[in-house]
Amino acid sequence: MSSLERSDVARLAALARIDMTDADLDRLSGQLAVIVDAVAKVAEVAGEDVPATSHPIPMANIHREDEVRPSLSQDDALAAAPEAEDGRFRVPQILGEEA
Amino acid sequence: MTTMTYEQAMEEFDPVFGIEVHVELNTKTKMFCGCANEFGAEPNTQVCPVCLGLPGAMPVTNDKAVESAIRLGLALGCSIRESSRFARKNYFYPDLAKDYQISQYDEPTCYEGSLDVVLDDGTVVTIGIERAHMEEDAGKNTHVGGTGGIQGADYSLVDYNRGGVPLVEIVTKPITGMGARTAEVARAYVATIRDIVRALDISDGRMEQGSVRADVNLSLRPKAVAGESQDDVPFGKRSETKNVNSLRAIERAVHFEAARQASLLLGGQPVVQETRHWHEDTSSTTPGRSKEEAEDYRYFPEPDLLPVEPSREWVEELRSTIPEHPAKMRARLREEWGFSDLEMRDVVAADALILIAATVQAGTTAQAARKWWMGELSRVANDREVALTALPVTPDAIAELQGLIDEGKINDKLARQALEGVLAGEGSPAEVVASRGLEVVSDDSALEKAVDDALAAQPDVLAKIQDGKVQAAGAIVGAVMKATRGQADAGRVREIILQRAGVEG
């Protein structure tokens, strides 16, 4: 039984700002469900003695000193921006859909 | 719809509130990259692939930011988690370059604390702290066109210099039972946090620059009926007012939201659980993100960063660096300095406490330090429309200046001129005194000549003094001070005049 519903996929797509057709949703909810279910098998295999882990290598505290390193120039920073103005990234109207 | 006042709202309902405070840390670099963490640079000049969220860039945690977060947690009485980790908080907004913010979710570094807050009348309220976690700041949007506000803008411009600056977010537990004092407690809590981060020297604590920012959550619930405990009455729906950035605004936002919600409830309308924007100009709030877009940040552990596991030894070492609680320090200093309640309140209100303490530390008496910071320096700060702390003069320099007066090298008037030079960036007080030639003339031959000149110009004065009208000497003192451009030691001038008149001083 799939743990992932079609409505879940539609909601995730909306949250991720991805436009999906009905056909996309049908196809992807099937495929994603297979993946989610496969991963869920791990939970069945892992016993009480296996701690939850978020990183494959048991390391911690890899920090850096608080020392300033060179930044990009403004030109380099903006080089890949579709639009720029006054040294800033120019982006479409924000919250237009809610105004 | 009925329109309620805050006071009426508090009579009808029981308020519950909570506050989230974001503190921008004053580390040299950002949270996860080596870009400078400095306010006011040209846009997009303190950015790199990490804080611009370019593909493949890898974050590395700033050790100093972790230290600052732990010290803040300890000052708030929090426990420090032996192993904490970062999480991604996913949402879309142009000021967030990566489309997720690195934050902490289920394993914040600091948790379960409490903080005593002292109100103006001395009442102590203990605020429960849920957590204090590390995260990164977003960039800065400028809305162009339309009304200039966030709504109705034609487009936006983004500067990512602030993106990735280290933040600690402090979240309170729900605060209940404050009734009509809710607004006052909210304000005092944020003021205390600001004082603590300054005392820890982990942030400049400037609310006007956004380095301490508050979100105010407020809800109202019915008052308990007879035989019922207020604790058993469920919480009402809450609003979260974002970015309330001054102490006065905190109080006003609580006033506005309580009155707004009470008006809705009494009119039979529901309060909508939502984010609201604060408007400083009108002291009011308007709805922010719409309800349909219920927050779903899909937090998950940040795979690019490793857990933070501070050793117990380090935590204890940091604990020993935690300064006294600001309110307790104020009480102690008031006692030590012998200030009146009113003097102390003025000092605190002017943000001069730490400056005066540092000046006293550098060897000046408390009254002299107070005189400088609350007098001349407050006047200058006021003229320049900047905070006292933003003046380009250090407590050490003020102590040096006062020292020059105490040694008799300069008088009060010359000291003010020297201060002017210090504020103009001409150097230390001693350097300005030397370069501007401000030293008091105590060389007797020079003074004697100036006195003789003045006496010659006003020949009747000597006779008057010899007649017993000693106060007539004042005119000569004035003339000498004028002739020496205020650099004479007035006491010594008077002695010389009296000697010339053959009268004992």
DSSP assignment of B147-182: TSSSTT-SEEEEE-TTTT-EEEEEEEPPB-S-GGGH
Both structure tokens of B354: 């730490």
Is residue A91 in a domain? Answer: no
Residue in B48, B153, B301 nearest the CB of A93 = B153
Higher pLDDT, A17 or B367: B367
B289 and A98: CB-CB below 8 Å? yes
| pLDDT tens sequence across B138-179 | 999 988 876 655 555 688 899 999 999 999 999 999 999 999
- List CB contacts (< 8 A) between A69 and chain B: 29, 33-35, 48
pLDDT for residue B1: 60
Q: Do you know the residue count of chain A?
A: 99
Highest mean pLDDT (candidates B391-405, B437-451, B477-491): B391-405
For the domain B444-501, what is the CATH code?
1.10.10
Q: Which of A82, A75, A14 is nearest to B155 (CA)?
A: A82
Does the beta-carbon distance from A66 to B61 stay under 8 Å? Answer: no
Residues of chain A contacting B53 with CB distance shorter than 8 Å: none
In a domain, A26, yes or no: yes
Chain A nearest-CA residue for B153: A93
Q: What is the mean pLDDT of residues A65-77?
A: 97
Determine the Cα–Cα distance for residues B505 and B438; give it in Å rounded to an integer. 27
CB B129 within 8 A of CB B112: yes
Question: Is B48 in the A-facing interface, judged by CB distances under 8 Å?
Answer: yes
| Domain ranges within chain B, ordered by starting residue | 6-295, 324-436, 444-501
> How does pLDDT run across B284-315, given as a tens digit for each residue?
999 886 544 556 888 999 999 999 999 999 99
Window 49-88 of A, Cβ < 8 Å to B: 54-55, 59-74, 77-78, 85-88
Cβ of B307 within 8 Å of Cβ of A93? The answer is: no
Using the beta-carbon criterion (under 8 Å), do A94 and B143 form an inter-chain contact?
Answer: yes
Residues A64 and B429: their CA atoms lie apart, in Å, by 40
Count of CB contacts below 8 A, A vs B? 134
What tokens does B129 get? 């702290």
Nearest to A87 among B42, B93, B309 (CB): B42
Question: For chain A, how many structural domains are there in total?
Answer: 1
Q: Please check the confidence at residue B208 and state whether its pLDDT lies above 90.
A: no
First-to-last CA distance in chain A? Answer: 42
Residue A72: predicted pLDDT: 97
Residues B414 and B428: beta-carbon distance below 8 Å = no
Q: What is the pLDDT of residue B295?
A: 66
Are the beta carbons of B157 and A94 separated by less than 8 Å?
A: no
Residues in chain A within 8 Å Cβ distance of B66: 63
Cβ of A88 within 8 Å of Cβ of B158? The answer is yes
| SS3 category, B288 | coil
Band of residue B12 on the pLDDT scale cut at 50, 70, 90: very high
Answer whether B306 touches A (CB < 8 Å): yes
- Report the pLDDT value the prediction gives residue B387, as an integer from 0 to 100: 86
pLDDT over threshold 90, residue A51: no
Question: What 3-state DSSP class applies to B211?
Answer: coil
Q: What percent of chain B has pLDDT over 70?
A: 96
Contact: B61, A62; criterion CB under 8 Å: yes
Nearest CA to CA, how far is B339 from chain A (Å)? Answer: 40
pLDDT for position B161: 97
Using the 8-state DSSP alphabet, how is residue B60 labeled?
A: -
Angle (deg, nearest 10), helices B326-337 and B182-200: 80
Pick the range with the lowest mean pLDDT from A59-63, B80-84, B279-283, B444-448. Answer: B444-448
Q: How confident is the model at residue A1 (pLDDT cuts 50, 70, 90)?
A: very low
Q: Is the pLDDT of residue B216 over 70?
A: yes
CB contact under 8 A, A67 and B29: yes
- Between residues A44 and B317, which one has the greater pLDDT? B317
Whether A95 sits inside 8 A of B47 (CB atoms) is no
Of residues A73, A88, A95, nearest to B142 (C-beta): A88
CA distance A78 to chain B (A): 8
Alpha-carbon B415 to chain mean position:
28
Q: Residue B419: what pLDDT?
A: 93
Give the β-pairing of B61-62 and A63-64: parallel
A99 and chain B: CB distance < 8 Å anywhere? Answer: yes
pLDDT at B363 over 80: yes
Looking at beta carbons, which residues of chain A come within 8 Å of B275? none
B135 membership: H or E segment, kind and range: strand B124-136
Selecting from B47, B154, B289 the residue whose C-beta is nearest the C-beta of A77 gives B47
pLDDT at B132: 98
- Which pLDDT belongs to residue A76? 97
User: How far B86 CA sits from the closest chain A CA (Å)?
Assistant: 10
Contacts of A65 in chain B (CB under 8 A): 63-64
Select the residue of A17, A60, A74 nearest B309 (Cβ to Cβ).
A60
Of residues A12, A68, A85, nearest to B36 (C-beta): A68
Alpha helices in B201-271 (DSSP H): 247-266
Alpha helix stretches (DSSP H) within A16-91: 22-45, 74-78
Query: What are the tokens at B167?
Result: 């933040």
Residue of B49, B64, B159 lying closest to A88 (CB–CB): B159
Residue A40: inside a domain? yes
The stretch A13-38 carries a mean pLDDT of 90
Instruction: Determine the structural domain holding residue A1 and report its residue range.
Output: 1-47
Give the closest-approach CA distance of A99 to chain B in angstroms: 6
Q: How many Cβ atoms from other residues are within 10 Å of residue B256's Cβ?
A: 23
- Which of A66, A73, A93 lies nearest to residue B62, judging by beta carbons? A66
Task: Name which of A61, A65, A95 is nearest B306 (Cβ-Cβ).
Answer: A61
Backbone φ and ψ for B462, nearest 5 degrees, come out as: -55, -45
Question: What's the rounded Cα separation, in Å, for the pair B240 and B238?
Answer: 7
Question: Which chain B residue is nearest to residue A55, measuring alpha carbons?
Answer: B303
Q: Which region among B12-21, B22-31, B225-234 has the lowest average model confidence (pLDDT)?
A: B225-234
Distance from CA of A12 to the nearest CA of B (A): 9
Beta bridge partners of B14: B221
Within-domain flag for A4: yes
CATH number at residue A30: 1.10.20
Is residue B65 less than 8 Å (CB to CB) from chain A?
A: yes
Does A12 map to a domain? yes
Angle at B355 between CA B352 and CA B360, to 5 degrees: 120
Cα distances from B69 to residues A80, B24, B27, in angstroms, run 35, 10, 11
Distance from CA of A1 to the nearest CA of B (A): 23
Distance CA B309, CA B83 (A): 5
Model confidence band, residue B16 (pLDDT cutoffs 50, 70, 90):
very high
Q: Could you tell me if residue A17 is inside a domain?
A: yes
Residue A59 within a domain? no
Instruction: Indicate the pLDDT class of residue B502, thresholds 50, 70 and 90.
Output: confident
Chain B closest-CA separation from residue A91 CA (Å): 5
Of chain B residues 86-105, which have a CB less than 8 A from chain A? 90, 92-94
Question: CB of A47 within 8 Å of any CB in chain B?
Answer: no
ipTM: 0.86
